[in-house]
A and B are shown apart, each in its own frame.
Chain A
């Protein structure tokens, strides 16, 4: 170790890897990973969320799984829960849609209404 900069670089890198362990003031993405979800491709959706978030270096978001939400016909389903508890439910997802959701909802804070449960049910 020859400089403080070196130490800081290690710190930032490790901190990012560990950020999953602080669950304060975070936006949570919950992917339905019950049998129905997995069969419909929820695993790819989940991995797409993780990859996109990593690629865009967003660190106030955690991705976790949940069971069946009950709308199996609309799987894969994912919900984005803001720090204030507000929820957006996205349905019939795939990796491509996830990339748009991350870009528009998480980065620009504009929910993608056309993918939400409200739009699908219309």
Chain B
């Protein structure tokens, strides 16, 4: 069957939540109603990365990209674009409207500044059709490895590429594989950490959903390189679409003989099993993850012995994250020199960031290492809504720290981020503007780690809780002299004494906000004032009598009836009743309410 047109619909998590499946149903119906169901092919793809504008629908051969498509728009798109060939301009992405030719996705600023390696197939192929992955050179790397290279050559190539782990710590991947390959053991394992837990990070999810075969191919290559015949993907149960597509992909790979016995007619055999996580953040830590795969309670253990020596079921094991694996097939096909040509001196290749918070283009971007934060925020991210000022960006989630405005021109790579007190982490990037309170942000992340601490070691279990209590007091206006120093002492002890990465990095959000925004902490503690006006206990709404016209609008909007007065006379807020929701301020037409 030859189709004259392909309609690509994003079925990533974001677009699925904004009703992409309903769009597909409607589209099918409309195509049938117009009798063109045999001329137009509907292709379900993974995430395009532009989640802010979802649901996204792209029609080829024109390459017209429609955004914010609703079910009601489908009829128009079919009758105008697909039947009559007239592009529906008012639904097109961004400024494409102004031009008379269709802007291809690649020409939109959001995409043209990116360099997509790990995300190369996301939004391009149908993740549920193995042939489309193969068309994009899929499984070619595996074929090359199995028929032309020895295991040691694979490891040498990876070492020469200088690929570092994308899960956060940035350990050289080739070295990790070398350690496991050196161990002599009949049984070894290849594991994939798909237990993405950082709040705001969803790049691994997008790869699993948009390009599951790249993970399968890379894990099989890893099996050949270290001498393993079994792999496990440890994936969050909270990622139902990812789990479903992985299962489909595994089934298809087995059917094609790309998993199983004697792959490509060689004597190499490999298979992969899925293990669903139970929703604990600590299971993203490697030793806890493997304990969980074994069927035990997911708690970390001391290292050494490292997993490469004694890992899953006590056997030599390698564990890499999803994004790291997704980089491997292109490295095998294009060579280490190609990979070394991208990035900075010590960080090669690209990194995917999930950008969120106070930013116009919320979504997923893959940028070469060395790109500055300014480019990410302003050129790719489209800047901050409502012309607010950039205050800081938080990277690395609960283990990371913040990058203030003074460092916005720092090239992003592993070492630079560590030097300025943050870390690459898994790639969550949350942008904050002048309305965000840094103490409140630190408290948010600490609350997360307190919840997620597994409780095995006291520094993490008790220490983070104590830190949280102090922060909670500070944000409630009850901070005391010496609180900041106490936080610092506690942070240092927790960092040094905790058993695993979760505890060792838990104080980072506090330490880095203290480093750059100490004045905000001091304002909270000494003056009982929140400069950003976020901490409710320290905020007071009052009506400026001179400006109030006595229209009674605020009194009618107030959800707790805290505002009273007489028409045409100034109204008053009862501070005892006020819950500081700010509705009065938003509704006042005369700017007569102030927040202090």
A residues contacting B by CB (< 8 A) are: 1-4, 7, 10-11, 13-15, 17-18, 20-21, 23, 26, 28, 30-35, 46-47, 50-51, 54, 62-67
Contacts and interface: CB of A to CB of B under 8 A. Distances in A.
B6 interface: yes
A11 B135 contact: yes
B138 to A, nearest CB: 8
A51 B2 contact: yes
A35 B4 CA distance: 19
A18 B82 CA distance: 18
Contact of A67 (B86, B131, B263): B86
Interface stretch (B12-20, B59-67, B166-174): B59-67
A26 B104 CA distance: 14
Nearest to B138: A11
Nearest to A12: B135
B147 interface: yes
A31 B11 CA distance: 31
Nearest to B86: A67
Nearest to B60: A21
Nearest to B81: A65
A105 B487 CA distance: 77
B295 interface: no
Per DSSP, chain B at the interface is loop
Given A11-B134, A13-B131, A66-B85, A20 B6 contact: yes
B405 interface: no
B5 A1 contact: no
A16 B361 CA distance: 34
Nearest to B125: A18
A1 B256 contact: yes
A65 B81 CA distance: 8
A10 B257 CA distance: 13
B390 interface: no
A21 B135 contact: no
A2 B257 contact: yes
A11 B139 CA distance: 10
B83 A33 contact: yes
A63 B61 contact: yes
Contacts of B96: none
B149 to A, nearest CB: 13
Given A14-B134, A18-B132, A64 B265 contact: no
6 contacts: A3-B265, A7-B143, A30-B85, A54-B2, A64-B85, A66-B86
A31 B62 CA distance: 13
Interface in B121-176: 124-125, 131-132, 134-135, 137-140, 143, 147
B143 A67 contact: no
5 shortest interchain CB distances as A-B pairs: A65-B85, A14-B135, A62-B61, A14-B131, A1-B257
Nearest to A42: B85
Q: Which of B3, B61, B83, B134 has the most CB of A within 10 A?
A: B61
Instruction: Using C-beta atoms within 8 Å of the partner chain, give the interface range for chain B.
Output: 35 or more
A56 B495 CA distance: 68
A50 B265 CA distance: 39
Contacts of B2: 17, 50-51, 54
B359 interface: no
B134 A7 contact: yes
Contacts of B256: 1, 10
A116 to B, nearest CB: 21
B84 interface: yes
A34 B103 CA distance: 22
B264 interface: yes
Contacts of B135: 10-11, 14-15, 17-18
Contact of B6 (A7, A13, A21): A21
B131 A23 contact: no
Contacts of A7: 134, 139-140, 143
Nearest to A11: B134
A7 B137 CA distance: 9
Given A50-B2, A63-B4, A14 B264 contact: no
B85 A4 contact: no
Given A28-B61, A33-B84, A23 B132 contact: no
Contacts of A62: 60-61
A67 B4 contact: no
Given A7-B134, A10-B131, A51-B2, 7 more contacts: A2-B264, A3-B264, A4-B147, A14-B132, A18-B132, A23-B60, A31-B85
A17 B139 CA distance: 18
A30 B5 CA distance: 12
Nearest to B1: A17
A23 to B, nearest CB: 5
Nearest to A49: B4
Contacts of A2: 257, 262, 264-265
B271 to A, nearest CB: 14
Q: Which of A1, A50, A62 has the most CB of B within 10 A?
A: A1
Interface string B187-216: 000000000000000000000000000000
B258 interface: yes
A9 to B, nearest CB: 10
A11 B39 CA distance: 22
A50 B63 CA distance: 18
Contacts of A28: 61
B40 to A, nearest CB: 11
Contacts of B134: 7, 10-11, 14
A55 B4 CA distance: 14
Contacts of B132: 14, 18
B116 to A, nearest CB: 15
